[in-house]
Chains A and B, each alone.
Chain A
Amino acid sequence: MPLNVLVVDDSAVMRAMIVKTLQMAGLHLGTVTHAANGQEGLQALDGAWVDLVILDINMPVMDGEAMLEAMRGQAELANLPVIVVSTEGSDTRISRLVGRGVTFVHKPFAPESIRDVVGELLGVVP
């Protein structure tokens, strides 16, 4: 079953890197949607079937934490799997994010770490 993924990051290069990593991991991708901030990300989720959100934190307009909060407040999005990919180095903030049910991947990331996390979260074997 193809995996529909929403990638939210203000860097187009980072979005492309993440998609490439998912492809290299051998995941069967369906629709891959790009968004440059949280607001665009929420719009992309409106009415679309998405299996996984890969989310940056520091973005203009609406950051990743605000998008995550908005998602958790909507019944249909509250349990959507989210992987936060960020340079965040503060244990305090990482704990807060993990407490909201996301999986955290640190930038720069090894391709295997994304593959393993996706496999674990969705039970997908590449």
Chain B
Amino acid sequence: MNDTLEPILREVAEDTLQSLAFLFPLEPEAEVDQTGETAIAKVNYTGPCSGCLLVTVPRSMLPPLTANMLGLPEAQAPAGEEEVDALKELANVICGNLLPAVAGREAVFRISAPEVLEASGPDLDPAHGELAGTAFVPLEEGWARLELYMGPASSQPGGPG
């Protein structure tokens, strides 16, 4: 695993969470409750390298994430499908911003539609490559964990969202 990717992963995640969902990061060493159920979104990408990005968040963070993205009033709870869609879009935006930060702005990547994994331990096929970097981002309303898998170049269809 490449430790130099950690600050890049962290910065992109923090910027996206703040801009997209008004979720603000705590200090990296802040302790947050990591018990409870989680939700995982996965985005596959191909290009100069190929792999996937996993974004894991506590399920308890999905309502504020979604409500903030949609600008819902406090009394209005988001629907379950909106929460799934919000998590997918979060992963999509993080991945789209992460890849040029890692590989440079000349690199052309294609990003597949995000999916939410049901299992707590995702099945990653070998085509998704090796774990290249991780980052854990404590937040005022939860936390987010990013895992970036990278492998050899590929040219399957897709495109950024």
**Contact (Cβ within 8 A) A10 B161:** yes
Indicate which residue in B70, B86, B88, B161 contacts A87 across the interface (CB closer than 8 Å).
Answer: B161
Contact B89 A14 (CB under 8 A): yes
* Chain B interface helix/strand/loop/mixed: helix
Task: Indicate if the CB atoms of A58 and B113 lie closer than 8 Å.
Answer: yes
CB-nearest residue of chain A relative to B15?
A: A108
B69 touches A107 (CB 8 A): no
Please indicate the chain A residues that have their CB under 8 angstroms from the CB of B19 in the complex: 108-110
CB within 8 Å: A-B pair count:
89
Chain B, residues 65-83, CB within 8 Å of chain A (1/0): the string is: 0100111000000000110
Per-position contact with A for B103-126: 1 when CB-CB < 8 Å, else 0?
001111101110000000000000
B108's partner among A57, A86, A90, A109 (CB-CB below 8 A) is A90
A89 and B69 in contact, given A10-B113, A13-B89, A58-B111 (Cβ under 8 angstroms): no
Q: A48 — which chain B residues lie within 8 A by C-beta?
A: none
Least Cβ–Cβ distance between A61 and chain B, in angstroms: 11
Give complex CA distance A108, B94 in Å: 9
Interface size on A, residues (CB 8 A): 29
Q: Please, how many angstroms separate the alpha-carbon atoms of A25 and B100 in the complex?
A: 30
B residues in contact (CB < 8 Å) with A: 15-16, 19-20, 66, 69-71, 81-82, 85-86, 88-89, 92-93, 95-97, 99-101, 105-109, 111-113, 158-161
* 25 pairs from A and B in contact (CB 8 Å cutoff): A10-B113, A10-B161, A13-B66, A13-B82, A13-B89, A57-B160, A58-B92, A58-B159, A58-B160, A65-B159, A87-B92, A87-B93, A87-B95, A87-B161, A88-B96, A89-B99, A89-B160, A91-B105, A91-B106, A92-B106, A93-B160, A107-B161, A108-B19, A108-B20, A109-B19
